[in-house]
Amino acid sequence: MRKLYSSIRGTCDFSPLQASSFYSITHRTREIFRIFGYQEIILPLLEEAGVFIRGVGKNTDIVEKQLFGVARRQGEAKSDVVLRPEGTAQVVRYYLQNSLYKQSSFHKFFYIGPMFRGERPQKGRLRQFHHIGAEAIGSDSIYLDAELISLALHILDEVGVAKKELRINTLGCSSDKEKFSKELQKIFASKKGKLCQDCQKRAALNPLRILDCKQAQCRKLIESLHLGEARVCAQCKRQFHDLLSLLSALNIQYIYEPYLVRGLDYYTHSVFEITSKELGSQDALGAGGRYNSLIKELGGPDVAAAGFALGIERILLALGELKHPETIRAFIAVADSTLMPDALAILQKIRAKGISSEMDYCDRSLKAQLRYAQKLGARFVVIVGQEEAKDNCVTLKDMEESFQEKLSLDQAIAKIHNRGGN
Ligand SMILES: [Zn+2]
Ligand SMILES: [Zn+2]
């Protein structure tokens, strides 16, 4: 017996039904981005590891545990190539490589494509998944934060995710973050034993990250600390309150979540997550925030920016049962195989009108062809028999109305084409 292959763990195949949902989500999303003034970019799946090590942070889960290295071809100069784990650092690499800040002080981009993380696969956590991402570079305005948040929610609304919650927090400026990190380092140093294994390591290197650890023991410890509101300076606090008022003015409901920190180092100021109860323990549909120091960190000028990413697989999970994809409109059936050339000519004519149509390629009997047409969901069957071929006409069978009539081919096509009518 030959070995039967199956897909790699943590990857998923999209069936025609899922692919059709995937297409309608991304199609609708592109239209919304156009309305909001974001321009699409398509960037490679391969990047130098440094983009993420420096950008996302070397003590983050993404870099420490989840980067997918790619083997280099023999003889090539040594550089660490990885499959991209996220889009933000990559978009910033693109922005800097092309010195886009010289062309204009403000840019808005979006991208749709696969990301890769070497995760332990579980429901909602994949090794290859797809992001819809937006990045707006060149502004520190809270109006931009508000636009991005409302844009992310609008996309989810429009693709049909009705129930979702927006959670929001502020991490403050870089110096607020650093101060709070040091404070947490001190607190956790004496309580290390109560933390999960991952957080014991984070306690010294990335203590902020402990705040949104999902492990029960860590949650318990954090709640016992009564940290209260985020520790940010007066200016950052005012900025955050102004943002929250803006959201309220836009009728956007939010939950203030003081422990929301996100697992990536580059975030500063506002961070947010959009969650759905339909998703189980991995409940984020998407997330985003401001990353005012990332561009400088990657060697560029001091430029403020913000963005978000939504997970397409998570959206599909939240949508639950999928609608059937569109069925074909017309089927060309032949009374016997000598009429196949006629059927092919008719099929070509109907397809040229943009009507989805199909014929039989498996030598089925006429009866079996009609059954097959029904299975395909065809509304009309065009039957070509010897008599019809002689009279230069066809029999058009309306499968819904159980009615059939002899017509010229042009008349039949007109009837099939008439989508609105009966
Ligand atoms: Zn501050
Ligand atoms: Zn933990």
Q: How far apart are CA 20 and CA 23, in angstroms?
A: 5
**What's the 239 CA to ligand 1 centre distance in angstroms?**
9
80-87 mean pLDDT: 94
Chain centroid to CA 398: how far? Answer: 40
**What's the 403 CA to ligand 1 centre distance in angstroms?**
74
**Together in a domain, 314 and 346:** no
Last residue of a domain, one of 297, 319, 341: 319
Ligand minimally distant from the alpha carbon of residue 178: 1
Ligand minimally distant from the alpha carbon of residue 233: 1
Compute the mean pLDDT over every residue in the chain, rounded to the nearest whole number.
92
pLDDT value at position 228? 72
Ligand minimally distant from the alpha carbon of residue 212: 2
**What's the 209 CA to ligand 2 centre distance in angstroms?**
9
Report whether pLDDT(419) > 50: yes
**What's the 268 CA to ligand 1 centre distance in angstroms?**
9
Last residue of a domain, one of 276, 298, 319: 319
What amino acid is encoded at 40 in this protein?
A: E
**Together in a domain, 103 and 132:** yes
Ligand minimally distant from the alpha carbon of residue 234: 1
Ligand minimally distant from the alpha carbon of residue 176: 1
Q: pTM for this structure?
A: 0.89
**What's the 214 CA to ligand 2 centre distance in angstroms?**
7
**What's the 309 CA to ligand 1 centre distance in angstroms?**
25
**Together in a domain, 109 and 59:** yes
- Report if residue 217 sits inside a domain: no
- Report if residue 207 sits inside a domain: no
The string of pLDDT tens digits covering residues 122-174 is 766 799 999 999 999 999 999 999 999 999 999 999 999 999 999 999 999 99
- Report if residue 106 sits inside a domain: yes
Q: How far apart are CA 126 and CA 280, in angstroms?
A: 15
Ligand minimally distant from the alpha carbon of residue 230: 1
**What's the 222 CA to ligand 2 centre distance in angstroms?**
10
On whether the CB atoms of residues 130 and 316 are closer than 8 A, the answer is no
The residue with tokens 């309608």 is 24
**Together in a domain, 304 and 339:** no
**What's the 121 CA to ligand 2 centre distance in angstroms?**
19
DSSP label of 327? P
pLDDT value at position 422? 43
Last residue of a domain, one of 319, 347, 365: 319
**What's the 224 CA to ligand 2 centre distance in angstroms?**
14
- Report if residue 84 sits inside a domain: yes
Q: What CATH number did the domain enclosing 297 receive? A: 3.30.930.10
**Together in a domain, 168 and 267:** yes
Nearest Cα neighbor of 214 from 233, 195, 192, 227 is 195
**Together in a domain, 243 and 115:** yes
- Report if residue 208 sits inside a domain: no
Ligand minimally distant from the alpha carbon of residue 170: 1
**Together in a domain, 110 and 241:** yes
Task: Name which residue leads in pLDDT, 215 or 5.
Answer: 5
CB half-sphere exposure, 99, CA atoms < 13 A: 2
**What's the 213 CA to ligand 2 centre distance in angstroms?**
5
Which domain range does residue 393 map to? 330-417
Report whether pLDDT(37) > 80: yes
**What's the 252 CA to ligand 2 centre distance in angstroms?**
31
**Together in a domain, 30 and 142:** yes
Q: How far apart are CA 209 and CA 213, in angstroms?
A: 7
Q: How far apart are CA 387 and CA 371, in angstroms?
A: 22
Q: What CATH number did the domain enclosing 385 receive? A: 3.40.50.800
- Report if residue 273 sits inside a domain: yes
**Together in a domain, 341 and 266:** no
Ligand minimally distant from the alpha carbon of residue 219: 2
The domain total for the chain is: 2
Ligand minimally distant from the alpha carbon of residue 263: 2
With vertex at residue 38, the alpha carbon angle to CA 49 and CA 56, rounded to the nearest 5 degrees, is 20
With vertex at residue 212, the alpha carbon angle to CA 206 and CA 215, rounded to the nearest 5 degrees, is 105
Residues facing 331 on adjacent strands: 358, 381
Report whether pLDDT(361) > 50: yes
